[in-house]
Structure 1
């Protein structure tokens, strides 16, 4: 079989965005109500002092988050690290680089930096001989822009990430930059779960806002093609989202224990001049051939090596607009029909709408969004052959998780018919966030984008055991 190479275009991010943070098959339940409790109050200005802050919404959100972060780590640090958490000695600084009054910052901001240097940025800084060491500094106008695009919780997320670096300053950080940054994402996820559970005195988050947060992480990834060994590497989209969800699901102890030298990162650099010259994805026809060859190969091997059975590949075909007659809904974009069910034939049918789904996702998101999409109904065919359900929410959860398992085998180079290039697994995350809630794609399942990505992540990292299969 031919060796079909997927390529992912390098994405040039604005420098300010790229530098924002310099320094099982589970279903997540979020936003649980706090019975018989009033809504959180804003933290009083005296509770947390932010030098340079004004009484605008961004500074208020940041101050509330910082107050809750102090409470959270005072509570968690003794259990996780066996010691008392020492508050940040250098304090907090808010800056609007377009309107700086030097008198407000007599010793500069974090570690004595000029306030203008924080433009488009937020950072934790520790330099014992410098003024304002052990501090967090942020550009409030930049956070306002991000909040306008990705929701009001973004300033709190940035504070949580930078506070994670403060935790690392007290206990030691991982050896590499990419592990250090993603561990801070994990700490931010653990705190966010605490907020979602209603434990915070001043911060709140609703379930739909979690989807916005994950979309925001796309801006915070390194440019596609960046080496994971780069001095300031922060991680791919999948790496950062995965770390955040790991903390959200499993808490700060997981963040402490799972960022050693054996941690898997999907970030990687382009290795051929062809990748660099094209800067793009494979043509649609090439990707379609990849789908037609790699999914049967994956599931045939999965049945033989893991599931102890023999897999019969279903018929795989495209349509344009009108779903096959055996589809449960005529407007469905992804279809699985069991054997003998009308157009299902003797071996079953997996079909995809190339006009309304796979064509647009390749153009909008990238080439690996196509196999990610088609892998979901294909996994339903595999479940059917295992005697498992194919038309309920449990089936949808399992199919998304199994798509993560398929993605891992592609990423690991285990299939002879395909290799990935940097950024391809990021496209799986984008597809699930952008299309996963569309009833024409996954049917009427009540799963958020956050939950779908979490399911994919479980399959990617844990394999079939996380997916209610085998």
Structure 2
């Protein structure tokens, strides 16, 4: 990100290595394994055969989720597409590429692959037109799924199965309008989100997930994002972290019908390539720490000074933004032990450099710092409008405003800042990592999953979607 008349400095996330989930880019990062509740019942292997399955924990999870996915789509497909769902004809395949028993696989084929290494650290759907004997099938590396489950909780492997099953749905109804990889892959994520909501609502016979575990599920999906700077038009593009979790939430909120309808050629994506200048600066896009405060102090007031009159029909009075180190500014009646907040006594938005900005920058990136300040800035905006500033409505609204600001900045509507690949990913990471931290957010009972969702709503629909009408 950059301020006018200052050297260009941009914001991006962590560049990750490449890993395929039908072409997904990822790296494994430290996670918080949080096993969902145990399955209601496990499907018997004889009732749902998976070729090559060794009945590991990953195989049991895959079988349970695939059985529930068949039930979900048998119910949902007629409602959304007006016809019965044709069951997969090619079957399901499990393999541990490091320990292969070739006798388990007829003709030596694992799905539509003839080599175990093609399945390594992967899961994929083989479409009906592949020209192989096992077309219309799903295959997965069970060792890889086990690793993901150990790091991020049991439901993440189930979500990956739901993504691949989403491709099977596409194999029956066709692919999104422009048939680009990023649209196709995020639509499959959306289908997975619709199934996840169905499971969360208690409709599944085998899988379960509780609402608090949705945070860990989104956190784990970081591993399947494309590396920042990936060309969104690339043959195997899957989307940024934000693009992918946004698609999951699209399905979670709107169901499979939203997935059917919202993936046309005009769908907005945050994924973008690095510019030559960004690459010359190292290809990370992180602004130097000493430039971030100036960017924040320029960009947020510019956005609100323009958007308040145009969107809300009223002028905006700029609050003071005051970084501090260790001791918050004095504010009558306020809890000054917090690391970020709004003080109506003096009209000050404050944030702690030492305990918030520095670790957020170090662990996530500089757009995490901007997001941390944008939320209390949104509280200041509500205060000017005479709206609540310390309840659930206030935090939802302020987080939504941070998304609306980010969307405007991405579109070039805020001239004092320029976003770079990975910025929105960092916003998601910040909301998941700090969303339940009472030193940053008032404890109003919102999960990280909910905060990401309202940020997404602001990005998609702008300031008028953020509850600022009196």
Q: Normalising by structure 2, report the TM-score.
A: 0.92
Of residues 2-11 and 145-154 in structure 1, the stretch that sits farther from structure 2 once superposed is: 2-11
| Residues 93, 138 of structure 2: 8 Å contact kept | yes
Q: Match for residue 94 of structure 2?
A: 94
Corresponding pairs, count: 447
Separation in 2, partners of 1:320, 1:78: 59
Aligned to 1:439: 438
1:266 aligns with: 270
Are 1:184 and 2:183 matched, yes or no? no
Aligned residues of 1:146 and 1:154 also touching (Cα < 8 A): yes
Structure 1 position 324 matched with structure 2 position 329: yes
- Taking the aligned partners of 1:55 and 1:220, their CA distance within structure 2 comes to 25
Instruction: Evaluate the alpha carbon distance shift between residue 3 and residue 48 of structure 1 in structure 2; reply closer, same or farther with a 3 A threshold.
Output: farther
For 1:166, the equivalent position in structure 2 comes to 168
Deviation at 1:173?
Answer: 0.9
Displacement after TM superposition at 1:363 (Å) = 1.8
Distance 1:411 1:4 in 2: 19
Q: Is the 8 A contact 1:22 1:122 kept in 2?
A: no
1:267 CA displacement: 0.2
Structure 2: gaps (5+ residues): 25-37
SS at match of 2:160: helix
The answer as to whether partners of 1:6 and 1:368 remain within 8 angstroms in 2 is no
Aligned mate of 1:228, from 225, 232, 245? 232
How far is 1:13 from its partner? Answer: 2.7
Partner of 1:352: 351
1:468 aligned partner: 467
The match for 2:146 is 144
User: What CA distance in whole angstroms lies between the structure 2 residues aligned with 1:316 and 1:9?
Assistant: 23
| Equivalent residue number for residue 27 of structure 1 | none
Structure 1 unaligned runs (5+)?
Answer: 24-37
**Is the 2:12–2:367 contact (alpha carbons within 8 Å) kept by the matching residues of 1?**
no
Q: How does 1:307-456 map to 2 (within 5 A)?
A: 307-326=312-331, 328-338=334-344, 341=345, 344=346, 348-456=347-455
CA distance in 2, matches of 1:9, 1:456: 18
Matches for 1:173-322 after TM superposition, within 5 Å: 173-174=175-176, 175-280=179-284, 281-322=286-327
Relative to structure 1, the CA distance from residue 245 to residue 180 in structure 2 (aligned partners, 3 Å threshold; closer, same or farther) is same
Question: How far did residue 400 of structure 1 move?
Answer: 0.6
What is the distance in 1 between the residues matched to 2:324 and 2:40?
Answer: 51
RMSD over equivalenced CA pairs, Å: 1.6
Residues in 1 aligned to 2:445 and 2:273: alpha-carbon distance in whole angstroms: 37
How far off is 1:154 after superposition? 1.0
Q: CA deviation at 1:12?
A: 4.2
Gap change, CA 1:147 and 1:398, over 3 Å in 2: same
SS of structure 2 residue aligned to 1:419: coil
Q: Displacement of 1:321 after TM fit?
A: 1.3
Encode CA deviations 1:101-142: one digit per residue, 9 max, x unaligned: 111012311124323321111100124531111000000001
The answer to whether 1:82 aligns with 2:82 is: yes
- Contact 2:376–2:398, Cα closer than 8 Å, also in 1: yes
8 Å Cα contact 1:404-1:460 kept in structure 2:
yes
Corresponding residue for residue 33 of structure 2: none
Distance 1:302 1:277, change over 3 A: closer
Does the CA contact (< 8 Å) of 1:3 and 1:419 recur in 2? no
Check conservation: 1:314, 1:349, Cα contact below 8 A. yes
Distance 1:384 1:201, change over 3 A: same
8 Å Cα contact 1:8-1:224 kept in structure 2: no
Contact 1:4 1:417 in 2 (8 A): no
Tell me the equivalent position of 1:32.
none
Shift of 1:277: 3.8
Contact 1:365 1:427 in 2 (8 A): yes
SS in 1 for 2:463: helix
How many angstroms apart in 2 are the aligned matches of 1:121 and 1:410?
Answer: 35
Superposed displacement of residue 4, structure 1: 6.2
Matching residue of 2:44: 44
Partner Cα distance (1:358, 1:187) in 2: 36
Shift, 1:323, TM fit: 1.6
Report the CA distance between 1:367 and its aligned residue: 1.3
In the other structure, the counterpart of 2:34 is none
What's the CA shift string for 1:4-25, capped at 9, x where partnerless? 644345744333xx312338xx
- Given that 1:118 and 1:139 are in contact with CA atoms closer than 8 Å, whether structure 2 keeps it comes out as yes
Counterparts in 2 of 1:456 and 1:411: CA distance versus 1, 3 Å: same
Deviations, residues 408-456 of structure 1 (Å, cap 9, x unaligned): 1111110110110111111111110111110000121211110110010
Tell me, in whole angstroms, the C-alpha distance in 2 between the residues paired with 1:14 and 1:350: 38
Provide the secondary structure at the position in 1 that maps to 2:432: helix
Assess, with a 3 A threshold, how the Cα gap between structure 1 residues 22 and 275 changes in structure 2: closer, same or farther: closer
Q: TM-score, normalised by structure 1?
A: 0.92
